[in-house]
Amino acid sequence: MLKKTRYASLFLFMLLFATIAYAEPFDVNAVPIKDAIGIEEDAKYRLEIKNNLDIRQEFRIYTLDYPFWDIRTEPIASRRLHSEC
Protein backbone atom coordinates (compact mmCIF):
# COMPACT_ATOMS: atom_id res chain seq x y z
CA MET A 1 0.00 0.00 0.00
CA LEU A 2 2.84 2.37 0.85
CA LYS A 3 4.44 1.67 -2.51
CA LYS A 4 1.24 2.68 -4.37
CA THR A 5 0.94 5.97 -2.49
CA ARG A 6 4.59 6.73 -3.16
CA TYR A 7 4.11 6.17 -6.91
CA ALA A 8 0.89 8.19 -6.88
CA SER A 9 2.64 11.06 -5.09
CA LEU A 10 5.54 10.94 -7.53
CA PHE A 11 3.14 10.93 -10.48
CA LEU A 12 1.20 13.93 -9.13
CA PHE A 13 4.43 15.83 -8.46
CA MET A 14 5.69 15.19 -12.00
CA LEU A 15 2.33 16.20 -13.47
CA LEU A 16 2.35 19.44 -11.48
CA PHE A 17 5.96 20.16 -12.47
CA ALA A 18 5.17 19.57 -16.15
CA THR A 19 2.34 22.12 -16.12
CA ILE A 20 4.51 24.72 -14.40
CA ALA A 21 7.44 24.25 -16.78
CA TYR A 22 5.27 24.37 -19.91
CA ALA A 23 5.55 27.65 -21.82
CA GLU A 24 3.52 28.82 -24.79
CA PRO A 25 5.61 28.76 -27.99
CA PHE A 26 4.25 32.16 -29.07
CA ASP A 27 1.87 34.95 -28.06
CA VAL A 28 -0.54 36.67 -30.45
CA ASN A 29 -2.21 40.02 -29.87
CA ALA A 30 -4.74 41.43 -32.36
CA VAL A 31 -5.61 45.09 -31.75
CA PRO A 32 -8.49 46.49 -33.85
CA ILE A 33 -7.69 49.76 -35.63
CA LYS A 34 -11.35 50.30 -36.59
CA ASP A 35 -13.84 49.20 -33.93
CA ALA A 36 -16.92 49.11 -36.19
CA ILE A 37 -17.29 48.44 -39.92
CA GLY A 38 -20.13 48.40 -42.44
CA ILE A 39 -21.12 45.53 -44.73
CA GLU A 40 -18.71 46.40 -47.56
CA GLU A 41 -15.93 47.93 -45.43
CA ASP A 42 -12.58 46.42 -44.50
CA ALA A 43 -11.61 45.60 -40.94
CA LYS A 44 -8.13 46.68 -39.88
CA TYR A 45 -6.06 45.10 -37.14
CA ARG A 46 -2.55 45.44 -35.82
CA LEU A 47 -1.26 41.91 -35.38
CA GLU A 48 1.63 41.33 -32.97
CA ILE A 49 3.30 37.93 -32.72
CA LYS A 50 5.96 37.25 -30.07
CA ASN A 51 8.15 34.16 -30.37
CA ASN A 52 8.84 32.71 -26.90
CA LEU A 53 11.23 30.01 -28.09
CA ASP A 54 14.98 30.20 -28.62
CA ILE A 55 14.70 29.05 -32.22
CA ARG A 56 13.62 30.83 -35.36
CA GLN A 57 10.03 30.07 -36.40
CA GLU A 58 7.85 30.72 -39.44
CA PHE A 59 4.28 31.95 -39.01
CA ARG A 60 1.68 31.98 -41.78
CA ILE A 61 -1.38 34.20 -41.72
CA TYR A 62 -4.41 32.89 -43.58
CA THR A 63 -8.17 32.49 -43.34
CA LEU A 64 -10.26 29.34 -43.48
CA ASP A 65 -13.21 31.29 -44.93
CA TYR A 66 -11.67 32.11 -48.32
CA PRO A 67 -13.21 33.46 -50.64
CA PHE A 68 -15.63 35.05 -48.16
CA TRP A 69 -12.80 36.61 -46.16
CA ASP A 70 -9.45 37.80 -47.46
CA ILE A 71 -6.28 38.87 -45.68
CA ARG A 72 -4.05 41.66 -46.95
CA THR A 73 -1.07 43.35 -45.36
CA GLU A 74 0.04 46.99 -45.33
CA PRO A 75 2.56 47.41 -46.82
CA ILE A 76 1.94 44.58 -49.26
CA ALA A 77 4.23 41.71 -48.25
CA SER A 78 4.33 37.96 -47.99
CA ARG A 79 1.96 36.34 -45.49
CA ARG A 80 4.93 34.38 -44.15
CA LEU A 81 6.56 35.91 -41.11
CA HIS A 82 9.92 34.80 -39.77
CA SER A 83 10.77 35.34 -36.13
CA GLU A 84 14.17 36.20 -34.79
CA CYS A 85 15.80 34.10 -32.06
Q: State pLDDT tens for residues 65-74.
A: 877 888 777 7
Query: In this structure, is the dihedral angle defined by the CA atoms of residues 70, 75, 76 and 81, taken in order, positive or negative?
Result: negative
| Residue 85 vs residues 1, 18, 33, 52, 56: alpha-carbon distances, Å | 49, 24, 28, 9, 5
pTM for this entry: 0.53
pLDDT value, residue 3:
67
3-state secondary structure 16-65: HHHHHHCCCCEEEEEEECCCCCCCCCCCCEEEEEEECCCCCCEEECCCCC
Name the residue ranges covered by the structural domains of the chain: 25-85
